[in-house]
Structure 1
């Protein structure tokens, strides 16, 4: 088995494809061990993606840790089994990422016929795109080495003393007692200046490619001289390791850092960019964070990334403010000052120019005789103004319909944390008063988890609904949405007010039954939405 990171696809090359064709005996043994064959999940994911068009620079790699071993991922209450819309993913810690880099360096070193440290620098210079590096290097190795500032076989770095002619080119210290280090380019600096220089680069986040401190020198410091200079600074060395890993993750399209604060896990997901419009790649980090691998936003099932981005932009810009102003105000016909009507009378007086006009037809009030509160005069100019106002008001009302419900579920999801705390208090009370075990009462916490998942999904259904074209398919979608919404509210009432906790068995039966029903409604809605995206059944407004 060989690993290859190319511009197109990070893949596993198998010497014999029959590795995954089992005899009946092997198949029985596999079932007994309850472990999948090594790499099977990844191979399946790759086969599913074979028909997709991968963009240039999409790099994939597969971890080859213990065969058959799967990561222990936190399981949501609604994700007890693999669903059609779920994607394959894996969490990697810093050690695993370092191991992957070392393997790639080891695989490429014999082919390039340069030192290990030089191979590492070349890969980093090419952002770990093996295919591009090999192609360029085999065509003109001297050009590649010159362009990247890498030397094929640099001497082993060492810190030296005893040269009376040494003078640091930064601080100008000199003398035989000064410690210094030199690179293959011939520039020498004292260790104090070197450490300060490297520390600045690491702090700035540029530590994966550090050039020689000499002006206009392109020679790169590899890991060996960097570690040598920082050997007494463990904190900075750890940050250096972290920066190297971050540059590696940044260069691979199938890797992304978990967005949770202080989380050090990177997630690998094999969904290609071309599949983001029909697949919502939700992944769960080992830290418990659930997010979309495509747009790095919190879990937004069942809305695709493209609609999520449009909705967020719409909510952030001032377009809806403009709609409100247009729907609730008019310009003075004389001086164009914006005026808001805050009373029932149609007789308006502009405070800027003192012009009197009719709010309904926008004509001069002097032409209205004694009809102070009505206007039955037709005016073509006022018709266009009122039509524009009506359109703006309709757009605003439509937006507010969906936004209000979106925001309501968002707030309800936030309240779920308080509900969880109250539920856990009830669980502790039940255990004390009725001598019940944790397993006997954990159904309450599981129900809150179901509620949290449903609220999150319902929130994003209103984004889908806002952009959906009104047709029969949208009507079916809204029926599923309504069923889930009603069931969620019923479950919420049961959990928030479980009435007499002494009737624990009856309450447990009701909560379990309703939780099961709510989960089934959520599965139906999300599955149908996913299939609609796959089948191009949904039509969205531009």
Structure 2
């Protein structure tokens, strides 16, 4: 086996066979080159046919090995696929920089000090347009209401004089250190630090008022940092609280939901576009989630349907469906009764009322017809129809939920498969003296499997709410194609023993990975276009 690198391609010789594949220097999935197996050739024809049917003949020709290259941390990560959105992950220092940008941009317009601009923005929860509109209408009213002075003097810690008395602890004397705000209230530094510390621990440190009763003057960043200069831990917490208030109030930022993650994601997607856009973002910690609703990656199902589905799964609505489909109420006392035998003559245990299970009428009216009921009654027929409809709805729900749950469980198994695959990769490297680049295709295949399982899981949510029409048929065809291809790749990666030699394994895994990736792109692209076009109607 020999390798030859040329123009970004890697030529791999396996005895008398040779093929070209994209160089796999990156850990992300790379496209294999020209397919060589008959199995892929047939699969490719099916894929091309499906792509043409969906109005995208070139869907499989646009795969770029560099699409998933990691973006510089200082730049917005640009979207590569139609359904992807631009986003950027920020750490604490980056978020502080974003705050500074907003403050610096607004300071000349308001014509107040930098510290006062920051306080006004926090008072308005960083709603810049509302602040500017109100300030230009009546600046004095805004300043007074917010407890902010346009140009307060620079803060400083002073040494007390004979007239100084702290308004909290009533200490006095020329040796006491104190700080005063523009409002004129003065407190010793010890009391000030205790007061500010309490406010920070309560979580409301972005708007700290003067300690004096009924005084609305706000304590700015500079005096707060001066007071906490000797308490680094509390100062750090204060800075984090300022950042948290900024992220919480901004529609363009949200915290990564991963436990203990300190990154926030910036993504500019209008809330009005959430019905047609699924803004999936990836944090630097590895967490992939929806910027709109905070749920884990749920493409291709939009946020509104995801929320309805999760609520449906969590509440007792389906239990109620089961009860309605399998039980009836006693017509006299309304007690819930479940039929557990074949006889239609029912006796309520609560009130001992005798009635017919089929028509719900009194049993005394049935004469000798003990085991059948041929009496037609519009009310009873309506009740039976209600039970029948409830049973149909329950069965429909269970059809989609079972498949949704199956892919959710399969996604968990993929994590175990990843561990096993890494061991197989290490074994191949040792036994066949191969480099990492020669076996990384196995990891890439498992990564694609994980993406497919996650997407297939949410396709059943979208399908559940879709009204049945030709558009749904097309969607389900794409869904079926991806599902079958995913199962084939899963079997191939889990048990490659049927293949002979590393060349055979690599060729077939690469071919199948490329095909599955193409099917996934086809489904997601078509679904994105469908959402943009309002192609589907949804059931309540």
TM-score normalized by the length of structure 2: 0.82
**Which stretch shifts more, 160-169 or 208-217?**
160-169
Unaligned runs of 5+ in 2: 1-70
Question: In the aligned structure 2, how far is the partner of 1:225 from the partner of 1:298?
Answer: 41
**2:510 matched to which residue of 1?**
512
Find 2:357's aligned residue among 333, 351, 359.
359
Q: Secondary structure at the match of 1:499?
A: helix
Question: 8 Å contact 1:93–1:266 — kept in the other structure?
Answer: yes
Find 2:533's aligned residue among 535, 538, 542.
535
Provide the aligned C-alpha RMSD in A.
2.4
Question: In the aligned structure 1, how far is the partner of 2:464 from the partner of 2:158?
Answer: 69
Q: How many pairs does the alignment contain?
A: 470
Report the Cα offset of residue 171 of structure 1.
2.7
Question: 8 Å contact 2:76–2:86 — kept in the other structure?
Answer: no
TM-score normalized by the length of structure 1: 0.81
1:121-166, Cα deviation, whole Å (9 max, x unpaired): 2222233344443443344332222111111222222222343433
1:283-298 superposed matches below 5 A: 283-298=281-296
1:221-232 superposed matches below 5 A: 221-232=219-230
Sort the Cα spacing of 1:103 and 1:270 in 2 relative to 1 into closer, same or farther, 3 A. closer
Q: Secondary structure at the match of 1:473?
A: helix
Sort the Cα spacing of 1:131 and 1:369 in 2 relative to 1 into closer, same or farther, 3 A. closer
Question: In the aligned structure 1, how far is the partner of 2:515 from the partner of 2:398?
Answer: 30
**1:444 matched to which residue of 2?**
442
1:196-251, Cα deviation, whole Å (9 max, x unpaired): 22122222221111111111111010011100111111111111111111222223
Question: In the aligned structure 2, how far is the partner of 1:288 from the partner of 1:73?
Answer: 18
Sort the Cα spacing of 1:191 and 1:87 in 2 relative to 1 into closer, same or farther, 3 A. same
1:258-269 superposed matches below 5 A: 258-269=256-267
Question: In the aligned structure 2, how far is the partner of 1:213 from the partner of 1:435?
Answer: 72
1:6-21 superposed matches below 5 A: none
Q: Secondary structure at the match of 1:71?
A: coil
Question: 8 Å contact 2:359–2:380 — kept in the other structure?
Answer: yes
Question: In the aligned structure 1, how far is the partner of 2:287 from the partner of 2:257?
Answer: 8
1:64-83, Cα deviation, whole Å (9 max, x unpaired): xxxxx8438999xxx9x811
Unaligned runs of 5+ in 1: 1-68
Runs of 4+ in structure 1 over 6 Å off: 72-75
Question: In the aligned structure 2, how far is the partner of 1:363 from the partner of 1:395?
Answer: 26
Question: In the aligned structure 1, how far is the partner of 2:250 from the partner of 2:138?
Answer: 25
Report the Cα offset of residue 365 of structure 1.
4.0
Report the Cα offset of residue 501 of structure 1.
7.8
**2:413 matched to which residue of 1?**
415
Question: In the aligned structure 2, how far is the partner of 1:129 from the partner of 1:335?
Answer: 58
Are 1:315 and 2:313 counterparts? yes
**2:302 matched to which residue of 1?**
304
1:385-407, Cα deviation, whole Å (9 max, x unpaired): 21111011111111111111111
Question: In the aligned structure 1, how far is the partner of 2:468 from the partner of 2:159?
Answer: 80
1:285-342, Cα deviation, whole Å (9 max, x unpaired): 1221111111121111001111112212222222222111110101122322101123
Q: Secondary structure at the match of 2:266?
A: strand
Question: In the aligned structure 1, how far is the partner of 2:261 from the partner of 2:299?
Answer: 23
Sort the Cα spacing of 1:137 and 1:527 in 2 relative to 1 into closer, same or farther, 3 A. same
Q: Secondary structure at the match of 1:207?
A: coil
1:30-41 superposed matches below 5 A: none
Question: In the aligned structure 1, how far is the partner of 2:299 from the partner of 2:253?
Answer: 20
Sort the Cα spacing of 1:169 and 1:375 in 2 relative to 1 into closer, same or farther, 3 A. same
**1:71 matched to which residue of 2?**
73
